Structure 1
Amino acid sequence: MPVPARTLDGTAAADAIYDSTAVAALEFTEQHGRAPLLATVLVGEDPSSQTYVRMKRSRCRRVGIDSRAVELPASTTTAELVARITELSQDPAVDGILLQHPVPSHVDERAAFEAIAPAKDVDGVTMASYAAMAFGEPGFHSCTPGGILRLLDVNGVDPAGMHAVVVGRSPILGKPVSALLLARDATVTTCHSRTKDLADHVARADLVVAAVGKPELVRGEWIKPGAVVVDAGYHPGGIGDVDQAGAAERASWLTPVPGGVGPMTIALLLEQTVAAARRHARAAV
């Protein structure tokens, strides 16, 4: 009988990061007389985005990070949003900036992201951060991809030498996780909507990262026995991008949905906010 996949428990790993981040935030506050500060920017009234921002602000309070909410109407133009983010980038009281994704369709999201100063890009969304990830240089990781790598690390899964197949090429998930895995010496295949024979690519993978945004696109029978499977999707009803039941029968490790990748994203965001605050303090000396 096949052995069921072991669980890559993102909730437990995130809790450990929250604990260490709380210690670091307290040390910073005691040394500098203020807490690290994360500015969250929300454009419009999308209910899911509002929920995510409230969750992130709640987690900030949990670990001793201050947060500043910047809420803009859905009618905000690209120029107005860029100007507001530029103000935050120039504000010495702000350590990190999070622009909640997605923004309204009429806004140039890339232009808004690029208005974030790289030193405050704690969500890892700028081209400067992507370049740092691609070249293995110091910088802030995109939080979900960085969370995936951290989750592998805490469970002793080393991607070096693995054939990793990433399904999805979005600029905030698929592309950066491919870059991070390549920097960690994996051999990386990035699949997307134009990829032919997706099942064949997945079947050859030692490590599968599903980040395509389509419910259960990756079927359990595609998974190579013993492969590590990271499901970065989330859809109503607790469904991911992977056929969880089928994958659990073949994979060696599998992230649950929910409770796998999701918790790691906010944990990395807050850890990187404290790191940004420390860098700003050192630069000001």
Structure 2
Amino acid sequence: MTAEIIDGKAFAAGLRARIATLVPAFEAAAGRVPGLAVVLVGEDPASAVYVRSKGKQTREAGMASFEHRLPADTTQAELLALVDQLNADASVDGILVQLPLPKHIDEQAVLLRISPEKDVDGFHPVNAGRLATGLEGFVPCTPLGCLMLLQDKLGSLSGLDAVVIGRSNIVGKPMAALLTKASATVTVAHSRTRNLPHYLKHADIVVAAVGIPHFVKGEWLKPGATVIDVGINRTENGLVGDVDFESAASVVGAITPVPGGVGPMTIACLLRNTLVAAHRNAGVALEADAI
């Protein structure tokens, strides 16, 4: 068996194009375009590249991009003051503080300061609680992108057995909540799970977000399963995922590549969340299935 490659790059491009078509109608109704503010503290090279990409794609979608680049010695009080300013700015619908922050700044304190209504990253405990209890809120962008890819490939996920490998607040926990909401039967595993292959052999869906290169072996997987590889691990051989792609591709039915799978979906879903936030903040209706 040769697995179908799930092209996240193409799907993300389509999602961004749909978002761009909805911006003019919002502008006509609200008198402004949606606005996304991104805050970068310090000079982390990977973060700087990511912020530039976010800004470029935000502008290409017809939205306003507000980039705030602060020196590494910015104090926590100064950063919190900026967040307060962005919370009060009516032209800003989404606020994203790029992680990681310098060690002298309490990340949790900063994330808590962002208004839940502008928390387009979905990291605020209010939004996490809304997701856990089935209420409307903002979902972290990476698991939301994973869910979109799964539903595009499989349609209804109802009744399918899913294993999420990873228990982070950013991917693993919200991914499990999304799959549960979609009526899948979900097992949350991690690097310390005993006899992980036992669980994977029965899984129709595997989402790997454990952060270990080639952690999941092809022989562990159920033939015909759908695998979403969230891992982005830098090795001497370049970027690789958490799944051993070569061995998995000969067993499963469909799999995301690394790179080109989940990664492009994260920024596309950030723009999606920003558009939703803009409609809510401006009191403008958005059709539920528009994006």
The normalised TM-score by structure 1 is: 0.94
Aligned twin of 1:280: 281
1:125-144, CA deviations, whole angstroms, 9 ceiling, x for partnerless residues? Answer: 11111122222221111000
Deviates most, 136-145 or 51-60? 136-145
Question: Number of residues paired by the alignment?
Answer: 281
Q: Kindly provide the amino acid, as one letter, of the partner of residue 156 in structure 1.
A: L
CA contact (8 A) 1:36 1:65 kept: yes
What letter is aligned with 1:247? A
The question of whether the paired residues in 2 share the 8 Å contact of 1:8 and 1:152 is answered with no
The SS at the match of 1:250 is coil
How far is the alpha carbon of 1:74 from its aligned partner? Answer: 1.8
Q: Structure 1 residues 157 and 215, CA, compared in 2 at 3 Å: closer, same or farther? A: farther
* Secondary structure of the corresponding residue to residue 68 of structure 2: strand
Q: Which of 10, 13, 33 is the matching residue for 2:11?
A: 13
Match for residue 106 of structure 2? Answer: 108
The equivalent residue for 1:197 is 195
- Whether 1:271 aligns to 2:272 is yes
> CA 1:192 to 1:105, structure 2 compared with 1: closer, same or farther past 3 Å?
farther
Deviations 1:87-107 (A, max 9, x none): 211221211011112222332
Instruction: Tell me the secondary structure at the aligned position of residue 201 of structure 1.
Output: helix
Measured in 2, the distance between the counterparts of 1:15 and 1:48 equals 22
Secondary structure of the residue aligned to 1:238 is: strand
1:176 matched to 2:174: yes
The amino acid of 1:48's aligned partner reads A
Q: In the alignment, what sits opposite 1:227?
A: 225
Alignment match, 1:255: 256
Q: CA deviation at 1:116?
A: 1.1
Q: What is aligned with 2:289?
A: none
| Cα distance in 1, alignment partners of residues 253 and 155 from structure 2 | 10
**1:59 matched to which residue of 2?**
57
**What percent of counterpart residues are identical?**
49
Partner of 1:136: 134
Of 210, 213, 218, which aligns to 1:212?
210
What is the letter of the counterpart of residue 18 of structure 1? R
- The CA deviation at 1:169 is 1.0
Look up the SS of the partner of 1:180 in the other structure. helix
Secondary structure of 1:155 counterpart:
helix
Moved more, 44-53 or 133-142: 133-142
Q: Which runs of 5+ in 2 are unaligned?
A: 285-291
Shifted more, 268-277 versus 84-93: the winner is 84-93
Q: Judging changes above 3 Å, is the alpha-carbon distance between structure 1 residues 36 and 248 closer, same or farther for their aligned structure 2 residues?
A: same
Read off the aligned partner of 2:239 and give its amino acid letter: G
Contact 1:13 1:154 in 2 (8 A): no
Q: SS state of the match for residue 69, structure 2?
A: strand
Q: Which amino acid aligns with 1:144?
A: T
Aligned residues of 1:134 and 1:183 also touching (Cα < 8 A)? no
CA contact (8 A) 1:135 1:183 kept: no
Counterparts of 1:199 and 1:108, CA distance in 2:
38
Does the CA-based 8 Å contact 1:42-1:72 persist in structure 2?
Answer: yes
**Aligned match of 1:240:** 241
Partners of 1:80 and 1:172 lie apart in 2 by 25
Residue pair 1:18, 1:63 contacting (<8 A) in 2 also: yes
Which segment is superposed worse, 69-78 or 237-246? 69-78
Q: What CA deviation, in whole Å up to 9, does each residue of 1:171-199 have, x standing for no partner?
A: 11111111111111112111123322222
The answer (yes or no) to whether the contact 1:133–1:183 under 8 Å persists in 2 is: no
Query: After superposition, what is the alpha-carbon deviation per residue over 1:190-230, rounded to whole angstroms, capped at 9, x for unaligned?
Result: 11233222222222222111101111111111111111110
